[in-house]
């Protein structure tokens, strides 16, 4: 993937990223000039204590929020300049979210939950159903299409959430403590799925966690502190660029 | 977009049917509001139609001229007390005023009417044959008397339904029989078709018509020959009615040699004036009903707004998830607007059913005439849709303006 002037374009490029909140009279600097580059196909774990700014960074990377200052290029597009509806469009087409608390729509079947992004994309109903069913099958939930979230275990619910994130074939999967509410066995299942999606389908996975054994699935570990990158190290060999342009 | 709207509608219906009691109670305001409007307007329309039928029963484009009052030693005799109008006024009026299609005259008194061993006190009217056509009287059997009967002062009578009921046995044919009015025998030559109540509420069928000349000479014993109780005139077209009234006034003033400073010694009324009084009453009623309806729809709308605000708060996280997976503001806006409109439209439809049933029951139980007009039903439906749209807008906008991060974190 290259930009207009022939320079290779990274999937994610953050330059001097600032986010400043006002909480009453107090000014909170959640991000303080953060710089970060992530290539297509990487599997990255972001770690850090609470209040380090890692959640703010995830919101920013997920186009749920915009920086106060600085630039965030996603696939070469400067997100800081976009309007709310354009951000929604990017979230719909390029990003899949997996949350700690699953965040499925209650009293709505697994299939319909997985369909949701396609519904907002405006695809015909038949196509929505076909794609959503295929996504559920990819996370091993074939036959559970009509189950409601309450009829599924935590691990299964999280798999529905992954199917919902996958259904749009995004280039980026953001998982915010995806195993935080799960037991060890379910956690392992979820991480295996994320790992497989990264290795076999080349989807870039960014994972926020504070559990080292979960972070160990990733090939790169970034520690955030006080709104800046503290350490950034490769924990597994191999370069993801072999998957670029696949 | 249409597919989106359809699916959103289906989602809205599903969400609302999950909480049937809540949705039902929310709709109740609209149901009652629309139901009340439909029922009340139906009753109002029914009453209006009944009044219009009464006014129409007077005849078409009728002008009535009544004599003025007498003043004897300062005591005024009241309307119609004087004998300022007579037959020649009517005949001259017809000759001089081309707008008038026909003129007629009448004089009435309440008298005892006898048939065999039965008697009845009813309104006996001496009239010109033209009067019958002006007032649109028709016959169930027999027919009217003629100018020749009038000229010869023949003793013939036409009887109304109420008189027939009181003087004749059921099934007995009145035409051909002889009745006595003030001991003078009259041959019945026609039975009048019923007209029911007049616009003033009197029984128009309690009536006997006899030729004016016969009444004058043989029954009433009139002091001033030719004086009448009322003059009647009719125009061909309704537009000419008021011009005709002005011309009649001018003509009668000249004929009665009234000076400019003197008031009229007669009163002119038209069918339109009488209709207007009734219309005014029903208009006041309609305005009142519509204000009540507006208030109840307002209350219903506020109910919808309230429950939607609760719903937005309850589903804040869901809204956040929808935004995260790519819902735009207009998608969220539409979702809640459609929910609001579903509530109000279903409520409105139920209200229409309630209103129609209510109107039918009113007719059935109280016997009041009701008319359910399609316009009212359509207006009620559209209005409930608008109420949903209007009161849904604020909560829907509130939902659409949520920040996705805050919405996702909402506990």
Whether B202 and B283 share a structural domain: no
State the pLDDT at residue B72.
Answer: 56
Asked whether residue B97 is domain-assigned, the answer is no
- In the numeric block, which tokens belong to residue B14? 């599903």
- In angstroms, the separation between the Cα of residue A177 and the nearest Cα of chain B is 14
Higher pLDDT among residues A44 and B141, named by residue: A44
Q: Which residues in B lie closer than 8 A to residue A97 (C-beta atoms)?
A: 324-325
The answer to whether the Cβ–Cβ distance between B325 and A105 falls below 8 Å is no
Domain final residue, candidates B224, B257, B287? B224
State the pLDDT at residue B79.
Answer: 53
Whether B20 and B122 share a structural domain: no
* Nearest residue, CB atoms, B404 vs list A64, A120, A124: A64
Number of domains forming the structure of chain B: 2
- Average pLDDT on B348-364 reads 93
Search chain A and give the residue with CA nearest B410: A103
Q: Which residues in A lie closer than 8 A to residue B397 (C-beta atoms)?
A: none
Asked whether residue B342 is domain-assigned, the answer is yes
**Chain A interface, Cβ < 8 Å to B:** 59, 62, 64-65, 84-85, 88-89, 91-93, 97, 99, 103-107, 116-117, 119-122, 124-125, 164, 168
State the pLDDT at residue A244.
Answer: 41
State the pLDDT at residue A243.
Answer: 43
Does residue B71 have a pLDDT over 70?
no
Whether B31 and B123 share a structural domain: no
* Span B161-190, pLDDT tens digits: 898 989 888 888 899 899 999 889 999 999
CA-atom Rg of chain A in angstroms: 18
State the pLDDT at residue B116.
Answer: 86
Query: Which residues of chain A are modeled with pLDDT < 50?
Result: 1-3, 6, 241-246
Whether B46 and B144 share a structural domain: no
| Interatomic CA distance for residues A201 and B389, integer angstroms | 46
Whether B283 and B385 share a structural domain: yes
Whether B283 and B399 share a structural domain: yes
State the pLDDT at residue B78.
Answer: 56
Domain, as residue range, for B375: 2-54+278-409
Does residue B51 have a pLDDT over 80?
no
pLDDT band for B73, please (50, 70, 90 cuts): low
Asked whether residue B355 is domain-assigned, the answer is yes
State the pLDDT at residue A218.
Answer: 94
- In angstroms, the separation between the Cα of residue A238 and the nearest Cα of chain B is 32
- Average pLDDT on B329-347 reads 93
The answer to ipTM > 0.95 is no
Asked whether residue B208 is domain-assigned, the answer is yes
Whether B24 and B128 share a structural domain: no
Interface test with B, best of A88, A99, A148, A177 (most B CBs within 10 A): A88
- Average pLDDT on B104-127 reads 89
Asked whether residue B78 is domain-assigned, the answer is no
The answer to whether the Cβ–Cβ distance between B317 and A103 falls below 8 Å is yes
* Nearest residue, CB atoms, B326 vs list A59, A89, A103: A89
Asked whether residue B95 is domain-assigned, the answer is no
State the pLDDT at residue B332.
Answer: 95
The residue among A128, A124, A188, A125 whose CA lies nearest residue A163 is A128
Residues whose CB falls within 8 Å of the CB of residue B369, separated by 6 or more in sequence, listed in order: B46, B47, B49, B50, B363
| Interatomic CA distance for residues A64 and A151, integer angstroms | 30
Higher pLDDT among residues B274 and B329, named by residue: B329
Whether B400 and B290 share a structural domain: yes
Say how many CA atoms lie within 13 Å of B220 toward its Cβ. Answer: 25
Asked whether residue B240 is domain-assigned, the answer is no
Domain final residue, candidates B160, B194, B224? B224
State the pLDDT at residue A167.
Answer: 95
State the pLDDT at residue A242.
Answer: 43
Does residue B82 have a pLDDT over 80?
no
* Nearest residue, CB atoms, A88 vs list B3, B328, B405: B328
The answer to whether the Cβ–Cβ distance between B325 and A164 falls below 8 Å is yes
Q: Specify the residue for token string 């009139």.
A: B222
Domain final residue, candidates B186, B202, B224? B224
Of B5-19, B241-255, B269-283, B324-338, the least confident: B269-283
State the pLDDT at residue A245.
Answer: 38
Asked whether residue B64 is domain-assigned, the answer is no
Cβ atoms within 10 A of the Cβ of B195, count?
A: 21
The answer to whether the Cβ–Cβ distance between B405 and A122 falls below 8 Å is no
Whether B140 and B220 share a structural domain: yes
SS (H, E, C) chain B: CHHHHHHHHHHHHHHHHHCHHHHHHHHHHHHHHHHHHHHHHHHHHHHHHHHHHHHHCCCCCEEEEEECCCEECCEECCCCCCCCCEHHHHHHHHHHCCCEEEEEEEEEEEEEEEECCEEEEEEEEEECHHHHHHCCCCEEEECCCCHHHHHCCCCEEEECHHHHHHHCCCCCCCCCCEEEECCEEEEEEEEECCCCECCCCCECCCEEEEEHHHHHHHHHCCCCCCECCEEEEEECCHHHHHHHHHHHHHHHHHHCCCCCCCCCCEEEEEHHHHHHHHHHHHHHHHHHHHHHHHHHHHHHHHHHHHHHHHHHHHCHHHHHHHHHCCCCHHHHHHHHHHHHHHHHHHHHHHHHHHHHHHHHHHHHHHCCCCCCCHHHHHHHHHHHHHHHHHHHHHHHHHHHCCCHHHHHHCC
The answer to whether the Cβ–Cβ distance between A120 and B328 falls below 8 Å is yes
* A to B CB pairs, distance under 8 Å: 63
Whether B220 and B301 share a structural domain: no
Higher pLDDT among residues B5 and A101, named by residue: A101
């Amino acid at each position: 993937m290259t930009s207009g002037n022939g320079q290779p374009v990274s999937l994610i490029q953050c330059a001097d990223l600032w986010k400043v909140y006002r909480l009453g009279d107090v000014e909170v600097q959640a991000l303080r000039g953060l710089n970060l580059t992530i290539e297509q196909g990487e599997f990255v774990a972001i770690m850090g204590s609470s209040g380090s700014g890692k959640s703010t960074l995830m919101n920013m990377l997920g186009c749920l929020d915009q920086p106060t200052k600085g630039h965030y290029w996603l696939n070469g597009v400067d997100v800081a300049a976009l309007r709310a509806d354009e951000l929604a469009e990017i979230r719909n087409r390029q990003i899949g979210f997996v949350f700690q608390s699953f965040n499925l729509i209650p009293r709505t079947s697994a299939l319909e939950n997985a369909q949701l992004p396609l519904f907002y994309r405006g695809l015909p109903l038949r196509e929505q159903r076909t794609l959503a069913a295929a996504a559920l099958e990819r996370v091993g939930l074939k036959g559970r299409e009509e189950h409601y979230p309450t009829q599924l275990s935590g691990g299964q619910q999280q798999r529905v959430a992954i199917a919902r994130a996958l259904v749009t074939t995004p280039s980026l999967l953001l998982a915010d403590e995806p195993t935080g509410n799960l037991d060890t066995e379910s956690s392992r299942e979820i991480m295996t799925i994320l790992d497989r999606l990264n290795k076999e389908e080349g989807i870039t996975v960014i994972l926020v966690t504070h559990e080292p054994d979960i972070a160990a699935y990733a090939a790169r570990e970034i520690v955030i502190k006080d709104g800046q990158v503290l350490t950034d190290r490769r924990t597994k060999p191999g370069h993801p660029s072999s998957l670029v342009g696949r | 977009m249409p597919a989106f709207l359809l699916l959103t509608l289906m989602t809205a219906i599903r969400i609302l049917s999950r909480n049937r009691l809540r949705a039902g109670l929310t709709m109740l305001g609209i149901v009652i509001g629309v139901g009340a409007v439909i029922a009340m307007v139906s009753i109002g329309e029914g009453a209006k139609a009944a009044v219009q039928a009464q006014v129409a029963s007077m005849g078409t484009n009728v002008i009535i001229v009544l004599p003025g009052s007498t003043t004897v030693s300062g005591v005024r005799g009241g309307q119609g007390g004087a004998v300022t109008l007579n037959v020649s006024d009517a005949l001259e009026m017809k000759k001089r005023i081309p707008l008038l299609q026909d003129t007629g005259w009448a004089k009435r008194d309440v008298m005892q009417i006898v048939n065999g061993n039965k008697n009845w006190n009813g309104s006996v009217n001496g009239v010109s044959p033209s009067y019958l056509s002006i007032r649109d009287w028709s016959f169930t059997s027999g027919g009217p008397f003629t100018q020749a009967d009038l000229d010869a002062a023949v003793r013939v009578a036409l009887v109304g339904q109420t008189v027939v009921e009181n003087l004749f046995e059921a099934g007995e044919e009145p035409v051909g029989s002889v009745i006595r009015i003030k001991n003078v025998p009259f041959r019945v030559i026609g039975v009048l078709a019923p007209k029911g109540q007049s616009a003033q509420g009197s029984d128009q069928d309690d009536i006997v018509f006899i030729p004016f000349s016969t009444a004058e000479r043989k029954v009433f014993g009139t002091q001033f020959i030719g004086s009448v109780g009322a003059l009647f005139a009719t125009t061909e077209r309704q537009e000419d009615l008021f011009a005709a009234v002005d011309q009649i006034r001018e003509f009668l003033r000249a004929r009665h040699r009234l000076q400019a400073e003197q008031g009229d010694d007669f009163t002119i009324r038209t069918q339109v004036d009488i209709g207007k009084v009734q219309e005014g009453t029903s208009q006041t009623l309609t305005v009142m009903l519509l204000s009540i309806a507006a208030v109840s729809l307002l209350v219903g709308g506020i109910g919808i707004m309230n429950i939607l605000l609760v719903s937005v708060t309850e589903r804040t996280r869901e809204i956040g998830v929808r935004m995260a997976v790519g819902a735009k503001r207009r998608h969220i806006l539409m979702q809640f607007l459609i929910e609001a409109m579903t509530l109000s439209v279903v409520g409105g439809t139920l209200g229409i059913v309630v209103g129609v049933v209510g109107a039918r029951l009113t007719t059935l139980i109280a016997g009041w005439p009701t008319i359910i007009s399609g316009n009212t039903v359509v207006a009620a439906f559209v209005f409930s849709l608008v109420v949903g749209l209007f009161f849904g807008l604020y909560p829907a906008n509130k939902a659409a303006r949520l920040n996705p991060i805050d919405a996702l974190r909402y506990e």
